[in-house]
Structure 1
Amino acid sequence: MCHFIRSATGVELTSAGEILLQEGESILSSVHALQKKLVSTQEACDLTIGTWQSMAAFYLPYQLASAKEHNRHIDIKTSHHYYDLLEQLESNQIDGALFDDREVQHTYWSKLLFKEDFYLFVNDQHPIAEKESVLFEDFKEEPIVVLPPRCDVRTLVEKAYKRHNLKISISNEIEFAQSIMGFISANLGISILPEIFMRHLQSSNIKALPITDFKFKREISLVAKNPDVGKMLYTLFFKTRS
């Protein structure tokens, strides 16, 4: 039975091909749903996920809420440095970790979850807030509020400055992401942060401006020491991003 017709203008599905495509998509959807149900019926055990504070505040709760039927108790541990997360994985203090793992060497199972752009976050009374987007040239002389070294956001921001042959000028170094947003809200500084922080902007006096020549994205991956545990976590909570 022929499922498609090839011609000079391309390939066109026959009626049989269209039926096969539709039914195939339905079958794949059923297989994924069955896989999730089978995983969720495995012996329940407590699981712990390690990540940055921003991920724990703005991303993980939504993922856990979207899979209420998982029948798992999930704890979340926050860290400030790459190596804290890796040490906790190695010592089995956590079962999985969420971070951009491209800047550190490890041998663990890893699965990319999503990518996000960076923005310049400013108080809406700041002169630059009038712009719809910015270039590094627009704020290169202005000190910024940053997260601590050895976290993915700080690493990527420093790489972006280096790419533009600029030296980063730091006004404040703050461990907690929400505190940075507080500084900006009080008009005590500006900061370069990933897109996920925009979830904080509802009813806020903070504006997030696209940085046209910021060429790096943050790529958040799920990392696990045990590949089977990593795949289970991915199937239960991260197969689709909310």
Structure 2
Amino acid sequence: MGELMEWQQLVYFKEVAEREHYLQAAKALAISQPALSRSIQKLEEQLGVPLFEKRGRGIVRSSYGDAFYTHAVKILEEMEKAEKHIRKMKDPQYGEITLGFMRSQGLQHIPRLLKQYKEIYPSVEFSLNQGSTEELINQLREGKLDLCICNMDQGVEGLTWRKLWTDQLYVYVSDTHPLANEEQLALHQIEEEPFLLIRPGYSARVMFEQIVEKYGLEPKVAFESEDMMTILGFVAAGQGIALLPSLETLQMSHVRSIPLIEPTERQIGVAWREGSVRSPASDHFIEQLVTYSTKFGE
């Protein structure tokens, strides 16, 4: 295999090819003419063809030079685009962030967060993905996400996690339910009710199963779905009750949310891969998440 071509050789060649004059090209490049001539000679040796031919006292591109010039221009243009792209990625006011989040967070915190962030940094691009905590952690490990906002009660090897805020489960009942006017509910008041549950794999379902085990409940499951809005629709129709996180920004007709007396907290935080090369925009967004969570907790 021949010697690898250097980027600088392409810059020198392009200048000579466009000026068709070594001295003028050398002055434009701020190098000596002998140094420029040696660079072009080395390039011709690498390619095995003459790129220029003499014509009178000057030079012109050979047919090989014409062909190589077309490709050299495209390569240098792509290099310039690549450099601009990297410079933007290094700038926290630009950059790209691939963010994953739990479905429950997509109903309140994430839209609010992104709205606030984009008002200040409109040039930062987000690629968004939602799913269960298990799905998000797997995608994070596979490098498909830069960051994810999820529930992580226990540490996960290879990931760093920083707590942001605390969620708790609420009892959701229809506004015609006998318990609809209660200020708080205890588990013994709802254990005989038909439950409408998030499917297995989601953080809210894990919390429910932990509660069932801790308090020795034997719940009657009436329906399962991965979509909270579907569950709340069934709640509104009086088809059962649900235990779901706080959905404070969601206005759902004919549904009431009532806090449980028993503690049912879960920790929500931001996670990323240990040792991952994150953009400054991602690091800056983590800082903004922490600031948001501090204000949210006040």
Same fold (TM over 0.5): yes
Shift of 1:63: 0.5
Shift of 1:172: 0.8
TM-score (norm 2): 0.62
CA distance in 2 between partners of 1:162 and 1:97 (Å):
28
Residues 113, 40 of structure 1: CA spacing in aligned structure 2 closer, same or farther, 3 A cutoff? farther
Moved over 6 A (4+): none
Q: CA-atom RMSD, angstroms?
A: 2.2
From 271, 274, 278, the counterpart of 1:223: 271
2:104 pairs with 1:54: yes
CA distance in 2 between partners of 1:54 and 1:163 (Å):
24
SS in 1 for 2:208: helix
CA distance in 1 between partners of 2:163 and 2:90 (Å):
22
Shift of 1:41: 3.9
- Equivalent residues of 1:66, 1:237 under 8 A apart: no
CA distance in 2 between partners of 1:210 and 1:83 (Å):
26
SS in 2 for 1:87: helix
Shift of 1:232: 2.9
SS in 2 for 1:112: strand
SS in 2 for 1:207: strand
User: What is the correspondence of 1:193-212 to structure 2 with a 5 Å cutoff?
Assistant: 193-195=244-246, 197-201=247-251, 204-212=253-261
CA distance in 2 between partners of 1:93 and 1:233 (Å):
17
- Amino acid in the other structure paired with 2:116: S
SS in 2 for 1:76: strand
User: What is the correspondence of 1:178-193 to structure 2 with a 5 Å cutoff?
Assistant: 178-193=229-244
- Amino acid in the other structure paired with 1:198: E
CA distance in 2 between partners of 1:40 and 1:220 (Å):
28
CA distance in 2 between partners of 1:150 and 1:218 (Å):
15
2:165 pairs with 1:117: no
2:205 pairs with 1:154: yes
CA distance in 2 between partners of 1:168 and 1:100 (Å):
24
Residues 207, 144 of structure 1: CA spacing in aligned structure 2 closer, same or farther, 3 A cutoff? same
Structure 1 stretches lacking a partner, 5+ long: 1-38
- Equivalent residues of 1:109, 1:227 under 8 A apart: no
Structure 2 stretches lacking a partner, 5+ long: 1-88
Shift of 1:58: 1.7
Shift of 1:199: 2.0
2:223 pairs with 1:172: yes
- Amino acid in the other structure paired with 1:77: N
Shift of 1:233: 2.4
Residues 42, 200 of structure 1: CA spacing in aligned structure 2 closer, same or farther, 3 A cutoff? closer
User: What is the correspondence of 1:92-111 to structure 2 with a 5 Å cutoff?
Assistant: 92-103=143-154, 105-111=156-162
SS in 2 for 1:199: coil
CA distance in 1 between partners of 2:100 and 2:233 (Å):
24
Residues 115, 175 of structure 1: CA spacing in aligned structure 2 closer, same or farther, 3 A cutoff? same
1:181-226 Cα deviation digits (max 9, x unpaired):
111122222101112x232136x2211111112x220210100113
CA distance in 2 between partners of 1:151 and 1:170 (Å):
16
Number of aligned residue pairs: give it.
200
